[in-house]
Structure 1
Amino acid sequence: MIAVPEPALTERELIERAVELRPALLERQPETERLTHYPKDTHEDFLRAGFYRVLQPRRYGGYEFGLPTFYRVVTETARGCPSTGWALSLTAAHVLQVAGLFDEKAQDEIFGDDGEFRAASTVVPIGVARPDGDGHVALDGTWPYSSGAPYSTHYLGQTLRAPEKPGDPPGPFVLFLAPRAIWTVVDDWHGALGLRGSGSNSIRIDEGRVPTYLTRELSLLDLPVEGGTPGSKLHGNAMYAGRAPSFYHGELAAIMIGTAYAAADEYARIIAERPLIADPARTRSELHDYQRHLGEALGAIHTAEAALLRNAEDWMEACRRNVSGETPFTSAEDNRLALVFLTAGRMAWDVLQGILFRTAGSRYARDGERMQRYFRDAATCWTHVGPTMAEPLYRRVGRDRLGLPSDDIPLLP
């Protein structure tokens, strides 16, 4: 057992800390982009605030708060700096799968004596895994887009088991957890349109060895959670027996909604300060059109956030029913939840680019302007593999409703 840093900390207090940090994150945006990851001051702020431990089991020094609280923290962080919100979410989130899928022996080693755990990850299988016959697996490969890698203590990756002999096809998916000592961060996160400060570097493993008990032959896109997992039993919490794809879509939605709120904040500042050409004594904020633009955007963002949080509660309930034996957490339920999250993110993106960025004025599309940064960040977020799953998810949900099989429709191209 590892002591929780602040045993009396409440979910409300944690969210308030994220709100209070927004001004500092706002001021650090240029430095975050320059460094290509958020600065050490921000990392230390997150450590003190407990943001990395939101979903972590209490047994291992975490707060074990629910999904709605985690998404609220991510949204508020992204509202201060989208790149920072992205990196925080994609390192603090993977504890949910680790705490669910691995057994007690593995988790005791993973969380160590202090509970320090942050894990970058990617969903695409890269490289190969070779069992060495001595209770270990050798890993070799370069995993790109490992957001949050600079501050990660572990790497949750996917690879393929090496073929038995030359000419054979590769074996099944292998999910592995690699400690920081066996991988390096590649300095290759440069030149991106947006999310320039997300620390989405590649990580490189050269014949690194991990114990076999830190590997599982399964895919993050299809976790075996029906009836519970080793982690849900160990921690007595159904949250650790949830499917991953819908959860990941919720992360992206929280980031996009936070970014849209940031753009709305900047829009309000712009129109309040921008004088009218024909009447410099007045500002755009006094014109009905700009008031309507801001109100319409906020209405959509608020709606998207409401959908995000309600869907997060539904995800938690699906986990509870799954573990209780009432209703399994099926791929069909996962598809439905994922599509709601994706739709919430799309609503935020549509008003950010279609209303806020479009009507703010071209001077705010210049380098160094926050509105330009938010547009770049949101546009880059929308090119992520998650939003590209929209079309297959539409088909899956439609086929699920019609009683037709849908698992044969691949989510990834």
Structure 2
Amino acid sequence: MMDTQTLRSGHRAAPSPSLTAEDLLTSAEELVPLLRERAAEVDRERRISDDTFRRLGDAGFFHVLKPKKYGGLELSEHEHARIAMTLARGCASTAWVFSILSSDNMAILAYPEEVQDEIWGENTYATLAGNTNLNPKAITKRVPGGYRLTGSWGFCSGSDFSEWLIFNAPVGEDGQGHMFLVPHAEAESTDDWFPTGMRGTGSRTMSVTDVFVPDHRVQATKDTVRKLKERRSLHPTFSTMYATWPSNGRFPFASCAVGAAWGAAEHFASSVGGSTRVANALGGAVRLAEQDYVATEFGQAQGDIEMARLLIEKRSLEASERARRHVESTEQDVARELRDNSLVTRTALRAVQQIFSLVGARAGRSEHPVSLAKRDIEMVSHHVTLNWRQNAVRYLASISS
């Protein structure tokens, strides 16, 4: 097994350019049993294993949203969402690491070709983690050729493995946000990720102290969309460069929640035949599979999860088709995607809570698959992009104006 440092520095051949979307989905399906075996360990250790990360790379998952020039497969948001949902059936944290690091390839593509070459020229597997929320307390100092950067950023998912980090810090008298790209080796990690769910995402705090960042690796945050459009000419066959940024069309967070609920439902369905619960306080036992309330509650939960899956597949396909046709998303498109991201997450949370209640006291064990899924989905549901009320209000405004 390779250690994390070797994973970061190792230069191996890019995945076969002949890999298709179906090939990758098959690989994701084949990984699910192994991820299920390792899920409890991931929860305890608060990170996915080096071997698991290596397998994600070998399958080509980190090349889904990457241009062909750097060994990428130039696939779409639709494939990204489906892969994330599938991986989350086995382990939501693993799916999250894939989703974050794969999605962040698009942030790299907003930078000049010089930066893209610097990151992927020698290591086509290189990934980017970090935090794109502005830290107003960060300090930037203008120096010849670039900036000196000091600051800390929490929630850096995937930073256990990434070679590069992205940070949003204020620049100038007006404190306008700028995105800084920094080699992982120049940052320090604080082991402060102790949540109740999604414990294996490695979303720790990363900090830098007086690190020099050259001008070509610094861009105003407000210019990201414009810069992505300018870079399209560098990769004319990569249609996903016409997607929105940041993109909700690939359901980067919601797909992990729905996939985790899907996995919980599969576990319950496979085990309910031999499951019992204590009949009452005096003892006895009842078979779960023979209880009408179990059938009705589980039927509702499983059906809701299926609807959530189908909605993700439909919306992500629509977003991918717009990008393929080079059609810009409208405000209504974006608002609808935000609404549906939060909607399917709410649905997944409600469904896994129903399943959890059916399992009984056994689900109280931290390593129980349904317990893991429930805690993971609860954590996902608190992500800033999945605020149901906020997204519902924006959607209503988009269709009523």
Aligned: 1:290 with 2:289: no
- Matching residue's letter, 1:194: G
- How do residues 11-410 of structure 1 correspond to structure 2 at under 5 angstroms? 11-99=21-109, 101-126=110-135, 127-128=137-138, 130=140, 132-163=142-173, 170-190=174-194, 192-219=195-222, 223-225=224-226, 229-236=229-236, 237-247=238-248, 250-275=251-276, 283-320=287-324, 323=326, 328-353=328-353, 355-388=354-387, 390-403=388-401
Distance in 2 (alpha carbons) for counterparts of 1:88 and 1:17: 13
Consecutive unaligned residues of structure 1, counting only runs of 5 or more, are 164-169, 404-413
Q: Which moved more, 1:243-252 or 1:7-16?
A: 243-252
Post-superposition CA distance 1:208-248 (Å, at most 9, x none): 122211121124xx85359x713322111231132234428
Contact map agreement 2:57 2:125 (CA 8 A) in 1: no
- Matching residue's letter, 2:144: D
Q: Which moved more, 1:48-57 or 1:311-320?
A: 311-320
Q: Describe the shift of the 1:199–1:230 C-alpha distance in structure 2 as closer, same or farther (beyond 3 A).
A: same
Contact map agreement 1:245 1:338 (CA 8 A) in 2: no
Contact map agreement 1:160 1:173 (CA 8 A) in 2: yes
- Matching residue's letter, 1:357: F
Q: CA deviation at 1:265?
A: 1.7
Residue 251 of structure 1 aligns to a residue whose secondary structure is: coil
What TM-score results when the alignment is normalised by the length of structure 1? 0.86
Distance in 1 (alpha carbons) for counterparts of 2:152 and 2:370: 34
Q: Describe the shift of the 1:261–1:58 C-alpha distance in structure 2 as closer, same or farther (beyond 3 A).
A: same
- Matching residue's letter, 2:351: V
Post-superposition CA distance 1:347-367 (Å, at most 9, x none): 2222111x2112221221223
Aligned length: 385
- Matching residue's letter, 2:175: G
Contact map agreement 1:4 1:63 (CA 8 A) in 2: no
Q: Which has the higher contact order (CA 8 A, sep 6+)?
A: 2
- Matching residue's letter, 2:116: Q
Distance in 2 (alpha carbons) for counterparts of 1:344 and 1:193: 21
Q: CA deviation at 1:43?
A: 1.2
Q: Describe the shift of the 1:26–1:5 C-alpha distance in structure 2 as closer, same or farther (beyond 3 A).
A: same
Q: Which moved more, 1:240-249 or 1:367-376?
A: 240-249
Contact map agreement 2:78 2:250 (CA 8 A) in 1: no
Contact map agreement 1:94 1:156 (CA 8 A) in 2: no
Residue 65 of structure 1 aligns to a residue whose secondary structure is: coil
Distance in 2 (alpha carbons) for counterparts of 1:360 and 1:246: 36
Residue 124 of structure 1 aligns to a residue whose secondary structure is: strand
Residue 201 of structure 2 aligns to a residue whose secondary structure is: coil
Contact map agreement 2:65 2:103 (CA 8 A) in 1: yes
Contact map agreement 2:254 2:380 (CA 8 A) in 1: no
Q: Which moved more, 1:275-284 or 1:118-127?
A: 275-284
Post-superposition CA distance 1:96-146 (Å, at most 9, x none): 2222x1122221112122212211132321243535342212221111011
Residue 70 of structure 2 aligns to a residue whose secondary structure is: coil
- Matching residue's letter, 1:391: R
- Matching residue's letter, 2:132: V
Q: Describe the shift of the 1:304–1:136 C-alpha distance in structure 2 as closer, same or farther (beyond 3 A).
A: same
Q: Describe the shift of the 1:248–1:308 C-alpha distance in structure 2 as closer, same or farther (beyond 3 A).
A: closer
Computed over aligned residues only, the root mean square deviation of the Cα atoms, in angstroms, reads 2.4
Q: CA deviation at 1:290?
A: 2.3
What TM-score results when the alignment is normalised by the length of structure 2? 0.88
Distance in 1 (alpha carbons) for counterparts of 2:94 and 2:301: 23
Q: CA deviation at 1:49?
A: 1.1
Post-superposition CA distance 1:15-36 (Å, at most 9, x none): 1111111111111112212221
- Matching residue's letter, 2:67: P
Q: CA deviation at 1:288?
A: 3.7
Q: Describe the shift of the 1:178–1:134 C-alpha distance in structure 2 as closer, same or farther (beyond 3 A).
A: same
Q: CA deviation at 1:320?
A: 4.3
- Matching residue's letter, 2:376: D
Consecutive unaligned residues of structure 2, counting only runs of 5 or more, are 1-11
Distance in 2 (alpha carbons) for counterparts of 1:208 and 1:248: 35
Residue 149 of structure 2 aligns to a residue whose secondary structure is: strand
- Matching residue's letter, 2:121: G
Q: Describe the shift of the 1:224–1:43 C-alpha distance in structure 2 as closer, same or farther (beyond 3 A).
A: closer
Distance in 1 (alpha carbons) for counterparts of 2:69 and 2:347: 38
Residue 247 of structure 1 aligns to a residue whose secondary structure is: coil
Q: CA deviation at 1:258?
A: 0.6
Q: Which moved more, 1:275-284 or 1:12-21?
A: 275-284
Give the % identical residues.
26
- Matching residue's letter, 2:383: H
Distance in 1 (alpha carbons) for counterparts of 2:93 and 2:386: 17
**2:8 is matched with which residue?**
none
Post-superposition CA distance 1:318-371 (Å, at most 9, x none): 3345x4xxx543444322222122212222222111x21122212212233222
Q: Which moved more, 1:259-268 or 1:276-285?
A: 276-285
Distance in 2 (alpha carbons) for counterparts of 1:188 and 1:273: 40
Distance in 1 (alpha carbons) for counterparts of 2:247 and 2:258: 16
- Matching residue's letter, 1:12: E
Q: CA deviation at 1:286?
A: 3.7
- Matching residue's letter, 1:337: E
**2:6 is matched with which residue?**
none
